[in-house]
Amino acid sequence: MRLAGQAQTSLRLEHFGQSRVGNRMHRGQVFPKSHRKTHQARVASVQVVITAHGPAAKPAAPSIKIGQHPTPQQGGPAKIAGVDRILVVASGKGGVGKSTVSSNLAVSLARQGRRVGLLDADIYGPSQPRMMGVNRRPGSPDGKMIEPLVAHGVTMMSLGLMLKEDEAVIWRGPMIMGALQQLLTQVLWGKLDVLIIDLPPGTGDIQLSLCQRTQVTGALVVSTPQDVALLDARKALDMFAKLKVPVLGLIENMSTFCCPHCGKETQIFGHGGVMAEAEKLGLPFLGELPLSLNVRLAGDGGTPIAATEDHEAQAYHRLAHRLIAGGMA
């Protein structure tokens, strides 16, 4: 018997008695189709065994390995296909709210009609997946290119999306540089007006590799007002000068704390230090951003404050508007 999908059957006869030729039939004996008519037996049960060639199993979704050594690049800094401008958000030290500024600026630009990408280049401590509220691993249609995720109107990518949330990255410089190259050139960014790159603290391999291999439109340097933070911000400014990356302006974060109970404003980290530094260096001062409990809660909850209608979002909207008006985004 021939079934669909080239299925074939055999009948297993459980019987009693003798065949016509007088031979004792053994319990469980299998009879080929051509011999069934030459035997007579009282059938006790029939078992049908079907084998079939069904549709081929779907191949496993391709995956991509992050953290390879960088490939040689000729001809100096290169553009990223489809990306008009690249802005790096930097600071000389950690803890000044650079990633919060990056995510909220990206969302504010998107809300004002720009096509925005956000790249979390902090390989050792990626925080944008949490701040943007995404935790799904990106796909790869061919095992080579990565499909970024979209959150709050922003196309975003982070190494943190390729790892478990509590998994450490223990890599030497070449692997870090290779990972950065992959995140820049093997991601399907599409058409973007601006790509915001959230840099790690300091002046190390990632900053050097990025500026030497990629055409960066300019840098936004974030600092809190106090002198200790400004010391390291000056090192970041010096790095960009040596790498010939224009500094588009300075941003004072955590400028003022407004008590949610009484409304009184307090300058916990001082006030005006970043503006004074910008004036001294002849650089644009792009604005002040508040120190706010709501900003922190929104970031931890995966919805940047700029994606809400809270009044704290207005400071980020003003910053985004200034960058758009100045042709920087």
Q: Please state which of the ranges 47-56, 80-89, 185-194 shows the lowest mean pLDDT.
A: 47-56
What confidence score (pLDDT) does residue 82 get?
Answer: 96
d(CA 164, CA 25): 63
Q: How confident is the model at residue 2 (pLDDT cuts 50, 70, 90)?
A: very low
Range 51-67 average pLDDT = 55
Question: Which regions of the chain carry the CATH code 3.40.50.300?
Answer: 83-325
| CATH code for the domain defined by 83-325 | 3.40.50.300
The pLDDT of residue 144 is above 50: yes
Query: pLDDT for 113-131, tens place per residue?
Result: 999 999 999 988 899 999 9
Contact 117, 197 (CB under 8 A): no
Average pLDDT over residues 300-322: 97
On the question of pLDDT at 276 being above 80, the answer is yes
13 vs 211, residue with greater confidence: 211
Long-range contacts of the stretch 136-144 (C-beta < 8 A, 24+): 136/161, 137/161, 137/162, 138/162, 139/61, 140/61, 140/62, 140/63, 140/64, 141/62, 142/62, 143/62, 143/63, 143/64, 144/64, 144/186
Residue range 166-183: mean pLDDT, rounded: 88
For residue 23, what pLDDT is reported?
Answer: 45
What is the C-alpha separation between 116 and 111, in angstroms, rounded? 10
Residue 85: strand, helix, or coil = strand
Residue range 132-146: mean pLDDT, rounded: 91
pLDDT value at residue 301: 97
Instruction: Judge whether residue 46 has pLDDT over 70.
Output: no
264: confidence class by pLDDT, cuts 50, 70, 90: confident
Residue 44 is predicted with a pLDDT of: 63
Q: Are 178 and 213 a contacting pair, CB within 8 Å?
A: no
For 100-116, the pLDDT digits (tens) are 999 999 999 999 999 99
Q: What percent of the chain is modeled with pLDDT above 70?
A: 79
pLDDT class of 63 with cuts at 50, 70, 90 = low
Question: How high is the pLDDT of residue 298?
Answer: 97
Which pLDDT score is estimated for 143? 84
Give CA torsion, residues 183, 203, 215, 191, to 10 deg: 40
Count other Cβ atoms within 10 Å, centred on residue 234. Answer: 15
Would you say 148 and 64 are in contact if contact means Cβ atoms under 8 Å apart? no
